[in-house]
Amino acid sequence: MGTEVVVPGTGELLDLSELTTTDIAAQVFELLEARRDIDSFNRSAQHELAQRLKYEGKKGATVDGWRVQMKAPTKTWDIDRLLDVLDDLVQEGLISQDKATACIKYTPSVDAREVQALLDDPSTAPEISLCYEIDPDEHRPVSVKRA
């Protein structure tokens, strides 16, 4: 990635390699503040559009060449209750066991705190440390705040 960048909003071309760390931090801070303002406006405007669609009882509309579409609501499932209902439906012969099984996914994931405890333990760290890699090209955000 080159060190020349265009500053959003001003269009100014900067060579980051020629700026001090203080200057770069100040630029990042100003952009973060602008992003917060833009995000705040965006949330408010989207909320207003959603309210208008709901008022009309619609999920979407085309208005003067603009297609406005509301995202479907997020469902928060009660897994235990769903498991009970699926089991009942299988027992009643309304769905197959295969269908009931297909409705629930079990996805293993790493509990970072639990694994970190093993990485902190000299007796388990050597083996555990072989189980992950760090991407050297990963973008790692940097926090910038006023001191």
pLDDT per position as a tens digit, 88-115: 999 999 999 999 999 999 999 999 999 9
Neighbouring residues of 67: CB distance < 8 A, sequence distance ≥ 6: 60, 61
Tokens matching residue 28:
């990042």
Six token digits for residue 34: 């602008």
DSSP designation for 74: P
pTM above 0.95, yes or no: no
67 and 80 in a single domain? The answer is no
Q: Which of 33, 54, 72 is the last residue of a domain?
A: 72
pLDDT of residue 147: 81
Last residue within a domain, chosen from 50, 72, 94: 72
pLDDT (mean) for 122-141? 92
138 against 1, higher pLDDT: 138
128 has pLDDT over 90: yes
pLDDT of residue 123: 96
Domain count along the chain: 2
What is the per-residue pLDDT for 16? 93
Q: What is the pLDDT of residue 1?
A: 53
Give the CA angle between residues 130, 134, 137 to the nearest 5°.
155
147 within some domain: no
